[in-house]
Amino acid sequence: MQNYTVALDAMGGDFGPRVTVPAAVQALSRFPALKVILVGDRNAITFQLSQLGYSDSSRMSIVHSDQVISNSEKPSLALRRFMHSSMGMAIDLVADGVADACVSAGNTGALMALSRFRLKLLPGIDRPALISALPTVSRKCIWMLDLGANVSCDADSLFQFAVMGSALAEVHLGHQARVAVLNVGEEEIKGNDFVRRCADMLRQTQSIRFVGNVEGNQIFNDLADVVVCDGFVGNVCLKSCEGTAQLFIDKLKNQMFGASIKGWIARKLFSDLFIGLKTLNPDHYNGASLLGLRGIVVKSHGSADISAFANAVGEAVHEIKEQVPSRISDRLEAVLLERHY
Amino acid sequence: MQNYTVALDAMGGDFGPRVTVPAAVQALSRFPALKVILVGDRNAITFQLSQLGYSDSSRMSIVHSDQVISNSEKPSLALRRFMHSSMGMAIDLVADGVADACVSAGNTGALMALSRFRLKLLPGIDRPALISALPTVSRKCIWMLDLGANVSCDADSLFQFAVMGSALAEVHLGHQARVAVLNVGEEEIKGNDFVRRCADMLRQTQSIRFVGNVEGNQIFNDLADVVVCDGFVGNVCLKSCEGTAQLFIDKLKNQMFGASIKGWIARKLFSDLFIGLKTLNPDHYNGASLLGLRGIVVKSHGSADISAFANAVGEAVHEIKEQVPSRISDRLEAVLLERHY
């Protein structure tokens, strides 16, 4: 059995080592071939480990860093000031080949900036993209990208997102992914130049299963496995979904849980109804991955609890086993060959 | 009391004269100074009027058209083929000064194309925009534009949207509107060049009350009265909200109305819980207006019932009374003066 190593930014997220250390222990018990490097304040990490009574130094090591990037830090400053932060050093471990992937629940913008700077882009990729699985009506998932790594993208970038998204989705699906472009209408003539040109390119690419445009209200309808958009649209779209979910939950709660007998019954019977429905944010759903880099970077949500952070480690393990970066390269090479000959 | 006339596309929408004619009669009883011109198939309209026993020819007239634009018709064809449709002729009545506004529940794309062609743009406006009021958490409204009239917009267009949106919102609010730009983050450095430049222009404009960027999840949080974005982002954003609402309602229904005693109780007590929550689509909410034209055009939703269509007529009446197109012109002139001197 081949071992693999994941570097964890132990200080990232709302709870730091209190969540990341127990999550690491949980992941270690789930994946027998996993080794973990915890990057962060040695004292805080050791304290958590002693609380848990965990002492298997063959599978877990600590790399000390006394610098933490706060959530309010600007990404541009991360590169100048925070190379030696727990996040920066976790990424470095991947760049230096010591770890096979890194997971952080810290500042997303800083994670993107540091990852891109240290890991570099895969050949043929112009921009990295943030991707996440989202729920659909039929209990399946769709993968949506870019969710905010790039505020504007040309047709070539969108096309590369489609290839990267396919590669990741297929690792989970086990069969060819259906790819759609997020647009303002289903018809080919709809949209701006970039999405139209990207759709044209996808239509001409045999090795991608392009299923056409989807509209905003169809994202969750299981019409596609991968939905491609630029990071501005993706970010606004997903956050709007989150806002709507909250708006509806608030309205329904007001309607249901009023000061009446009906409200009393509702509180007794349905008080747990809205748990787990609060948000569609990819951060909250099950973490996001940065694709297009020469290394695996998984972003867990900041408010992740132990099992959610362990899930993000699980995603990293999955991407290591399936060698997602080289799958992306292979897929891109095949597509480019097809397009040029 | 000054009279005003609204031309109704009697054939538009899912139900045509069955809804538009009774709605017209309802609106006439609500607004004593209103006159209505029903444009469409004379027989069908007369039949509906006779059913209602309405015969006041001093306030209602019929202009015959035997052509209807279907919802599947491409906007580009509308200009070539459907100038004499009920929609086209209703717009013509505004262009020719016979009516003060027109209302249609028909094909949105065709309505935009025909309106722009026949009514022309206001001076200083580069593109018309589709605007709608949307609900917020605090039972107030926000006005959002553009919702799909333009798939790409430069900073100047976005700035003009802010001015137009302010003018319309202020007519409803009675005080100065707070204007925000929809962006991927609150900070000034966030977003693409167009939204950043638009925000800069708004920041320098005293006569607009610019409150900064809002993110997708803040749209409904009552931080602003007017939210500005390009039509691609606006369309995707709003349709995503609609899709999320549907996804959540479906999930909640499944959870609540199961085959259990709890489900039985839920069905007895809360079966009407989701009525009216189904959609955030501006079409479904309370109709949208096309701004930036030398005339008033209100788009009612296609599936509008009698009272919803009458509400759309009410919006047209409101915009006539408040002379929204000239308010927009005045506002724009003031802003341009301020910016240039």
Torsion angle of the four alpha carbons B10, B12, B17, B18, in this order, in degrees rounded to the nearest 10: -150
Say whether B240 and A239 touch across the interface (CB within 8 A): no
Nearest to B152 among A151, A192, A216 (CB): A192
The Cα A153–Cα A233 span in angstroms is 10
Q: Which residues of B touch A280 (CB under 8 A)?
A: 244
Ranges assigned E (strand) in chain B? 4-9, 34-40, 60-64, 101-104, 129-135, 141-145, 178-182, 209-214, 226-228, 288-291, 296-299
Interface A–B counts its CB contacts (< 8 A) at 161
Strand (E) or helix (H) holding A311 = helix A306-321
The Cα A262–Cα B29 span in angstroms is 38
Measured in residues, chain A has a length of 341
Q: Which residues of A touch B255 (CB under 8 A)?
A: 273
Q: Which residues of A touch B229 (CB under 8 A)?
A: 236
**Among B269, B266, B240, which Cα is nearest to B253's?**
B266
Site of tokens 């999930």? B251
Interface probe with A: pick from B73, B140, B190, B247, most Cβ of A within 10 Å: B247
The Cα A42–Cα A47 span in angstroms is 8
For each successive 10 residues of chain B (341 residues), what is the average pLDDT?
A: 92 94 96 97 96 89 94 81 92 97 92 93 93 82 90 92 95 94 87 92 94 92 94 92 81 77 77 62 68 95 87 93 94 85 61
**Among B92, B60, B61, B87, which Cα is nearest to B73's?**
B87
Mean pLDDT lowest among A16-30, A251-265, A303-317, B22-36? A251-265
Average pLDDT over residues A8-23: 95
Domains in chain A (CATH in brackets) are 1-125+292-323 (3.40.718.10), 126-281 (3.40.718.10)
Say whether A184 and B148 touch across the interface (CB within 8 A): yes
State the nearest Cα–Cα gap between A25 and chain B, in angstroms: 34
The separation between CA A318 and the C-alpha centre of its own chain, rounded to angstroms, equals 13
Q: Which two tokens stand for residue A305?
A: 């609890």
Site of tokens 């240290």? A118
Say whether A232 and B152 touch across the interface (CB within 8 A): no
The Cα A36–Cα A26 span in angstroms is 11
- Tell me which amino acid residue A234 is: G
Nearest to A250 among B137, B152, B240 (CB): B137
Does pLDDT of A286 surpass 80? no
The Cα A215–Cα A199 span in angstroms is 14
The ipTM, to two decimals, is: 0.85
Say whether B241 and A241 touch across the interface (CB within 8 A): yes
The Cα B70–Cα B109 span in angstroms is 11
Cis peptide before A154 (omega within 30 of 0): no
B57 class by beta-carbon count within 10 Å (0-12 exposed, 13-18 middle, 19+ buried): exposed
Interface probe with A: pick from B181, B188, B248, B268, most Cβ of A within 10 Å: B248
State the nearest Cα–Cα gap between B73 and chain A, in angstroms: 12
Task: List pLDDT tens digits, range A29-80.
Answer: 999 999 999 999 999 999 999 999 988 889 999 999 999 998 888 877 888 8
Strand (E) or helix (H) holding A210 = strand A209-214
Cβ neighbours for B277, distance < 8 A, ≥ 6 positions apart: A248, A251, A252, B245, B249
The Cα B312–Cα A5 span in angstroms is 62
